[in-house]
């Protein structure tokens, strides 16, 4: 299956003579050199692909260029160089009118500060995209009401945005994006303005919706935990460049460079890792024959620890066809929690050490 969304060597430079700046960046100039000339390189040579139904998270600190990158995907900002392909169509090459058409029908967006129209009711807000498309009133109100219901806002249609809490407002924002039936959702730090508990709720709800709707989502965040929770794939940005792209496990287990490594220190690994990511694939073949409890590659880390605690030997990992694919020794589980990947050397005294709490 071909990629739904493809970004190809995207550059965005603000300031004078942007093309010249891109040329210098290609030849290896760095961001600071350009800044001295008064030009700002917001995004430098960003490439990635997003498969249909995937949540692709772009993670980076503020100023890393992630919002600029997102805005190039639906043409709110025109790339200085590079291409964006969506469903095979090059969005950088089409006319304004066609671009508006794509935005109205195929790509919708959810904003950090909700960006609800204060002069429209909740229902009218949710129906906004449809009214832009010229969908007749009765139909668009029906579809908007459905989208609101999907986001858990049934019964709030007649309210006004400022009467809602932040979390509810963002649900309206999400409903507005879903109502148009767009395939691609761009979410710009959509949950960052919410307090932590509400943010958890919203993340859960997004994952829940995603199970049934199977949208393609590009999600921007500065919070690596959020990235790990939501992302099928994650791109880490630093100073305008994508420094690593991969799954949550890739990034946790094989961080590309010190920058990413320093980032992942604070991540709660137990929520991210699964048996498939941590298992040892170097197997003898008979580990599962004892009839004890086994795990699957999708088994979460915490559950794996529980199983391991009940067994005296490494946990066997079986795939869907009950074939043995790997084993997880307890020492590896402990090592991952302590961020220690080395093999344990033999102890000098060769005695058991009992830790006392």
Partner 1 sequence: MPRIHFGDWVESAVDWLQSHLGWLFDLVNVVLDGMYDGAVAVLGGAEPLLMAAILAVIAAWLRGLLPGVLAFVGLALIDALGLWQDAMDTLSLVLVAAVITVVIAVPLGIWAAGSKRVSSLLRPVLDVMQTMPAFIYLIPGVMFFGVGSTPGLLATIIFAMPPGVRMTELGIRQVDPELVEAATAFGTSPRDRLTRVQLPLALPTIMAGVNQVIMLALSMVVIGGMAGAGGLGEQVYSAITQLKVGLAAESGVAVVILAMYLDRMTGALNERVSPLGRRALAKAAAARRSALVHYRPAGAVAVVGVVVLALVAGGLNWAGSGDAEATANGRQGRDAGKTVDLGYFPWDEAIAATYLWQNVLEDRGYRPKVRQLDPGPLYSSLAGGQMDVQLDAWLPTTHKAYWDKYGSRLEDLGSWYGPTSLELTVPSYVKGVDSLADLKGQSAKFGGKIIGIEASAGMMGTLNSRVLKAYGLQGEYKVVSSSTSSMLAELDRAIKKKEPVVVTLWSPHWAYGKYDLKKLKDPEGAWGKGEQIHTVARKGFSDEFPELAGWLKDFKLTEEQLASLEVAIQKGGAGNEKESARTWLDAHPGIEDKMAPVS
* Pick 107 or 278: Cβ nearer partner 1: 107
User: Based on CB atoms, which residue is closest to partner 1, 183 or 287?
Assistant: 183
Q: Write out the two tokens for 319.
A: 């795939």
Which is nearer to partner 1, 186 or 248 (by Cβ)?
186
Q: Edge-to-edge, what's the strand order for the sheet holding 81-86?
A: 40-50, 5-14, 81-86, 89-90
| Beta strands 89-90 and 107-110, pairing class | unpaired
14 binds partner 1 (CB under 8 A): no
Smallest distance from the beta carbon of 50 to partner 1, in angstroms? 18
CB 59 within 8 A of CB 237: yes
Q: In the complex with partner 1, which residue's Cβ is closer, 133 or 331?
A: 133
Q: Contact between 111 and partner 1 (CB under 8 A)?
A: yes
Each residue 131-170 as x (binds partner 1 by CB under 8 A) or -, in order, gives: -xx--------------------------x----------
Shortest distance (Å) from residue 78 CB to partner 1: 13
Could you say which of 3, 29, 94, 115 contacts partner 1 (CB under 8 A)?
A: 115
User: Residue 96: how many CB atoms within 10 A of its CB?
Assistant: 8
Is 117 a binding residue for partner 1 by CB under 8 A? The answer is: yes
Give residues with Cβ within 8 angstroms of 92, minimum separation 6. 75, 78, 79, 82, 83, 84
Q: Which of 19, 101, 195, 268 binds partner 1 (CB under 8 A)?
A: 101
Residue closer to partner 1 by CB (options 129, 246) is 129
Does 118 participate in binding partner 1 (rule CB under 8 A)? yes
4, 24, 103, 199: residue in contact with partner 1 (rule CB under 8 A): 103
- CB nearer to partner 1: pick between 86 and 128: 128
- Pair of tokens at residue 100: 């508006």
Stretch of 98-106, 215-223, 251-259, 333-341 lying at the interface with partner 1 (CB under 8 A): 98-106
Contact pick of 54, 80, 180, 221 for partner 1 (by CB under 8 A): 180
- Here the tokens at position 333 are 């589980």
Q: Which of 9, 83, 113, 330 binds partner 1 (CB under 8 A)?
A: 113
Residue 73 near residue 84, CB atoms below 8 Å? yes
Cβ 72 to partner 1 shortest distance, Å: 12
Contact residue for partner 1 among 31, 83, 105, 142 (CB under 8 A): 105
Interaction residues for partner 1, span 50-89 (CB under 8 A): 74, 76
Name which of 113 and 222 has its Cβ closer to partner 1: 113
Tokens of 273: 């890792």
- Residues at the site binding partner 1, with contacts judged by CB under 8 A: 74, 76, 100-105, 107-109, 111-113, 115, 117-120, 128-129, 132-133, 160, 176, 180, 186
């Amino acid at each position: 299956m071909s990629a739904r969304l493809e970004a190809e060597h995207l550059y965005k430079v603000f300031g004078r003579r942007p093309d010249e700046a891109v040329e210098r960046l290609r030849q290896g100039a760095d961001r600071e050199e350009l800044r001295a000339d008064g030009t700002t390189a917001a995004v430098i040579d960003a490439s990635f692909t997003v498969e249909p139904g995937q949540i692709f998270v772009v993670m980076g600190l503020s100023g890393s260029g992630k919002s600029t990158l997102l805005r190039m995907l639906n043409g709110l900002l025109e790339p200085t160089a590079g291409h964006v392909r969506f469903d095979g169509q090059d969005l950088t090459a089409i006319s304004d009118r066609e671009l508006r058409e794509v935005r109205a029908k195929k790509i919708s967006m959810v904003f950090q500060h909700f960006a609800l129209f204060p002069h429209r009711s909740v229902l009218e807000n949710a129906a906004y995209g449809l009214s832009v498309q010229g969908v007749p009133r009765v139909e668009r109100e029906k579809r908007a009401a459905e989208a609101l219901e999907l986001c858990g806002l049934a019964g709030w249609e007649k309210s006004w945005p400022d009467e809602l809490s932040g979390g509810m407002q963002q649900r309206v924002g999400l409903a507005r994006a879903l109502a148009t039936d767009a395939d691609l959702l761009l979410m710009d730090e959509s949950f960052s303005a919410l307090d932590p508990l509400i943010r958890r709720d919203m993340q859960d709800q997004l994952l829940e919706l995603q199970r049934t709707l199977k949208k393609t989502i590009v999600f921007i965040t500065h919070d690596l935990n959020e990235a790990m929770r939501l992302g099928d794939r994650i791109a880490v940005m630093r100073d305008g460049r994508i420094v690593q792209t991969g799954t949550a496990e890739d990034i946790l287990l094989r961080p590309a460079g010190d920058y990413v490594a320093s980032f992942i220190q604070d991540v709660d690994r137990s929520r991210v890792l699964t048996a498939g990511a941590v298992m040892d694939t170097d197997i003898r073949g008979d580990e599962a024959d004892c009839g004890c409890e086994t795990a699957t590659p999708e088994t979460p880390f915490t559950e794996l620890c529980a199983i391991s605690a009940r067994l005296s030997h490494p946990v066997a990992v079986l795939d869907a066809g009950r074939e043995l694919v790997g084993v997880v020794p307890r020492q590896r589980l402990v090592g991952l929690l302590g961020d220690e990947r080395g093999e344990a050397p033999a102890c000098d005294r060769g005695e058991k050490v009992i830790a006392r709490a």
